[in-house]
Amino acid sequence: MPFRPAEGGCLCGAVHYRIDQEPALADICHCAMCRKSAGAPFIAWIAVPVAGFHWTQGKPAAYQSSKDATRYFCGNCGSQMAMMGGTAADLVGVPIGSLDEPERFTPTAEGWALVKLPWVKLAMTLESHPENNPEF
């Protein structure tokens, strides 16, 4: 079955994106940077080929969160919508929660389990990586 494009955007509706290629993976990240950037105990991501991700409305603001990775968010409402660069420069990380249909994508792995908050208990068992998911 061909991939059905997915769309998403920010809370206030100023910035939108479209994904037209199958994600390479879906995972949860427990690292401190993801927790801080989301204000949450972890972020669930899909990783999409760069060629399959397109901004369709508005222009996101950008923050270089590490020496080689940039996070993109709405400059109006602050919603995080993408992360580019890092160890998988050919992929765009998209927070599953920013999608219009987040239920379409279920994480299968978790990264940075070594620093997972001790009270976080997931409802399902995922492939677990002590540090970064090597695929992302």
**Residue 83 · residue 66 · CB < 8 Å:** no
Q: Is the pLDDT of residue 87 over 90?
A: no
- pLDDT (tens digit per residue) in 10-69: 999 999 999 999 999 999 999 999 999 999 999 999 999 999 999 999 999 999 988 888
Which DSSP symbol is given to 69?
E
Share of the chain above pLDDT 90, in %: 87
Whole-model pTM above 0.85?
A: yes
Residue 99 DSSP label:
B
Flag whether pLDDT at 126 surpasses 80.
Answer: yes
Tokens of 121: 């208990």
Predicted pLDDT at 42: 97
DSSP E strands in 30-79: the ranges are: 43-49, 53-57, 61-66, 69-73
Structure tokens at 17: 């994106």
Domain topology for 6-128? 2.170.150
**In the chain, how many H helices and how many E strands?**
1, 11
In the chain, what are the domain boundaries? 6-128
The pLDDT assigned to 133 comes to 83
